[in-house]
Structure formats: C-alpha cells, structure tokens
Amino acid sequence: MIRFGPRQEDQTSTSRSRHRWSRLVPMLALVGVVVLLSGCGSEVVQPYSHITPQTEKANDIQTLYKITFWAALIVFVGVQAAILYTALRFRRRNEDRPEQVHGSRKLEIAWTVIPAVILLVLFIPNAQVIFKHAAAEQGPDKFDVDVIGKQWWWEFRYRDIPADPNNPDAGPLVTANEALLPVGVDVVFHVTSNNVIHSFWVPQLSGKVDVIPGHDNPLQFVASTPGDYFGECAEFCGSAHAWMRFKVKIVPEENFDAWVTAWRTPPASDANTETADVMEAPPAFGACLACHRVNGTNAAVALEGMPGLSGYVQGANETIGVSAEDQETDATGSEIVPGPGPNLTLLACRDTIGAGLLENTPENMERWLKHTDEVKEGVYMPNYYEQGAINDEQVAELVTYLQSLKPADGCPDEGLLVGGQVPQAEVEATDPRPNSGNGTPVAQ
Ligand code: CUA
C-alpha cells in the first residue's frame, strides 16, 4: 500500500525520537571529548612525545599543535553535527521527490570563507613560529655542536671544544649517542649525514630536523632544566633504524666542565693496564682500533666524522659539506660508506650501548661483543667472536677494559638529576626481539 503522507502516530514518534536524539548527540560528543582528552594528562612524562615540552622552542611547537588540534576538533564536531542534523531533519518520510535546490549564493560564500578563515588561523601562528625559530638559529654566542647521523648511531662533535687545548690539530671533543650539554646555553646542533637520510628528533627539546648528506641543517634550543632528554631517529634509514636512539643530557655547568676534563684525561687504569695507554689495553683491543678511538690514549688512529672530508679526518673545525665528488670518492662501488665506529672515550659513563639498545652493564657488553649482529641486526661492526678471531677470555678482558673507561673518581654526571626529568622506570621496555636472551630489559 502506498502512503501519501505520514500518519498521525508517525509524526508523534518522529518528534519523540527527535527529542531523544537532541539529548543523545551532545552526550555522545561529550563522552568522545573526555575519552580523547584522557590521553593528555600532563602528569605523565612522555619522553618520546612532544606533548611534554621542556624548552621554549618545543613549547612553541606544542602551542601550534594545540591550535591545530582545537581547530580540527571544532571542524570535526561541526561537520558531524551538520551531518547528523541533516540526516535526521531531512530523512525520507514518504516516496515524494524532495524539493531540488540548485545554487545558493549564501552557502557558497560560507563554504569558501569559513575554510579560508580556518587556514588563516593556522597559517599565521605557524609562519610566526617558523620565522622566530629560523632567527634563533642565527647570531653569535651559540654553542655549536656538529651532529652526524651514522648507520645506526649518532656522532656529536663539539666544534668549539678542542680535544687537546695544546694541539689544535687534534680536532674537537667527540662523543657518541649521549651528548652532554651545560644547562641554559644557546645550543645549535648542525645536523648532517655521510650516508643516508635520517631524522634527528628530541621531542621535549625541539622539533624534528632532516639529516641529509651534504646539508648542514641547524637545530637550536635552550634547555633550562637539567635532565635526560631522549631522542631517536624519526625516518626509516635501514635495518637498525629503530635502534638509533640517543640522549641529550643537560647538566649543570660545573659537571659539564668536569666531563670535558675527564674526556681529555687518560682513563683510570683499573683494567689490564698500568699506564692507561691503549698499548697496555688487552691486545684484542687492537682489532677495535681500526674503527674506534679512546681519547687520552694513543688509540686515536681510527677515522672519525665524515671520512673523505679532510676537515673531519684531520678533525679540524671545517664546515660540514659533502660535495658530489666527495660522495663518489667515498663510496665503494654502490655501497654506502658506513664510516668509523663511535668514539669510546668515557664509554663506561654512558647509560646504554648499541645506540640505546642495551643497558651498559658488563653482561650486556659481553653479549654485545659476542653476538653483535644478532643483538642489533644490520650493524656494521664485525663479529670477531663468532668469526673465531677472539675467544671467551679475550672478550672478558675487553669487557673489563671497556668498563674501565671512566674517570677514577666517577662519572661527571653521576648522581645528578639525570633521569630525574624522565624516570627510568617509565621508559623501560622489554626487548621485543626474538632470541634476545633472558628478557634483558632495554633501558633507554
Ligand atoms: Cu636513522 Cu632511522
């Protein structure tokens, strides 16, 4: 039977259900917003998220995020409300063809102007922040540090801090994966790579910056709270991309100075060495010297920085830049030059080994030396143990030696707020990889 109009009882039920919806919709919207915002507790420190910024720069970025978030939420709620309203208000009640409408000047102006306003609301603060941050990268009195993305770890080169004040040719102080910085200084990281493209990101300190061969990409910030700030590579760069983590440790100035002094001082000799001279280190360490340096010893023959660039091989403070020519002379066939390994000076003071992969303990060091490529798939460090070039006894000697690479009176950042900013327990995770041993915790 064909009906030509709603019956009386239909109208009643329609108005009843409309009444029900008018109460239900705002309730649902409220529940949705509460669920969304429950993830934003400011109490929880999230070292790998930008939502707990610790510098003015990161805070600027957070503000932009908030503006975008709220603008998107308003648009979302508005659009959903309009859809719901339209669906309910104009739902089919009979078989009549609804009134056809063509062109509405008011509507067309509205849906042109509203998005334009929304885009302006987003564009103006974004542009302001971009120019503000670009300006902050310029100027004198910057604390310049070169950062080189390697496969798969990070090298930090302190441009203005000579490795040896009496020998300018010795190049700058160099460290890997854990960069100490004095609190409150105006830092500019000059980020580059001699292999593939990475992305350098310490969410609580600043935004991401692409790590591109041949480019010196600056990244500026001022950190005024001591603590450990966690960073990671944020762009897929090969098999061990996920294990290219690092820390920026902001410490009081006196601790930083102590660290520099310790870095320049030969390591304490409680290992197999009387003089701390690397010639006195276990003979097996000789195999490591092709790629690793230990400052304060004569273990300073391995290449560092950007191989092929005289500035870096010599260690002088020359500008970063990889010309196409350099790239070609660097490259061995189609392979990317992996470059030398991390500088091991003060290695025993680092929290992790393998670029954030394992906690720096003697047990993990042994595991690392014996099963390097199993622990970190794709790593360029040859596995001398499995190749039979070094035996258990030699590994044990190496572990003792490497664990002795720290100042006699303790590490300069020991007992500081380090970790206070980011409680260690909150960022601990169990190693997710198969065959990863007895569930050794992976501390970041
Ligand atoms: Cu380097 Cu991902």
Check pocket membership of 210 for ligand 1, CB cut-off 6 A. no
Ligand 1 atom with least separation from CA of 244: 1
For residue 299, the cross-strand partners are: 294
For residue 86, the cross-strand partners are: none
Check pocket membership of 245 for ligand 1, CB cut-off 6 A. no
Tens of pLDDT, residue by residue over 161-180, are 998 888 888 889 999 999 99
Q: What whole-number distance in Å separates Cα of residue 327 and Cα of residue 167?
A: 29
Ligand 1 atom with least separation from CA of 196: 1
Residue 3 C-beta-side C-alpha neighbours within 13 Å = 8
Compute, in angstroms, the gap from residue 22 CA to the centroid of ligand 1: 51
Compute, in angstroms, the gap from residue 200 CA to the centroid of ligand 1: 8
Compute, in angstroms, the gap from residue 113 CA to the centroid of ligand 1: 42
Check pocket membership of 241 for ligand 1, CB cut-off 6 A. yes
Compute, in angstroms, the gap from residue 234 CA to the centroid of ligand 1: 6
Ligand 1 atom with least separation from CA of 235: 2
Compute, in angstroms, the gap from residue 203 CA to the centroid of ligand 1: 15
Structure token pair of residue 31: 């529940």
For residue 182, the cross-strand partners are: 251
- pTM listed for this prediction: 0.76
Check pocket membership of 198 for ligand 1, CB cut-off 6 A. yes
Tens of pLDDT, residue by residue over 91-147, are 888 888 878 878 889 989 998 999 999 999 999 999 999 999 999 999 888 999 999
The contacts of residue 262 (CB under 8 Å, 6+ apart) are 346, 349, 406, 407, 411, 412
Task: Report DSSP state, residue 13.
Answer: H
pLDDT of residue 420: 41
Nearest to 143 by CA among 172, 178, 123, 121: 172
Compute, in angstroms, the gap from residue 76 CA to the centroid of ligand 1: 34
Between vectors from CA 129 to CA 125 and to CA 134, what angle results, nearest 5°?
155
Nearest to 173 by CA among 145, 193, 148: 145
Compute, in angstroms, the gap from residue 416 CA to the centroid of ligand 1: 30
Compute, in angstroms, the gap from residue 308 CA to the centroid of ligand 1: 22
Ligand 1 atom with least separation from CA of 237: 2
Check pocket membership of 233 for ligand 1, CB cut-off 6 A. yes
Q: Closest residue (by CA) to atom 1 of ligand 1?
A: 198
Compute, in angstroms, the gap from residue 379 CA to the centroid of ligand 1: 13
Check pocket membership of 236 for ligand 1, CB cut-off 6 A. yes
When the pLDDT of each residue in the chain is averaged and rounded to a whole number, the result is 78
Check pocket membership of 240 for ligand 1, CB cut-off 6 A. no
* pLDDT under 50: residue ranges of the chain: 1-10, 270-276, 308-338, 418-444
Q: End-to-end alpha-carbon separation of the chain, Å?
A: 72
pLDDT of residue 28: 78
Ligand 1 atom with least separation from CA of 236: 2
Ligand 1 atom with least separation from CA of 151: 1
Compute, in angstroms, the gap from residue 238 CA to the centroid of ligand 1: 7
Compute, in angstroms, the gap from residue 233 CA to the centroid of ligand 1: 4
Q: What whole-number distance in Å separates Cα of residue 179 and Cα of residue 350?
A: 10
Ligand 1 atom with least separation from CA of 149: 1
Alpha helices in 90-198 (DSSP H): 105-136
Which residue has 């009386």 as its token pair?
A: 8
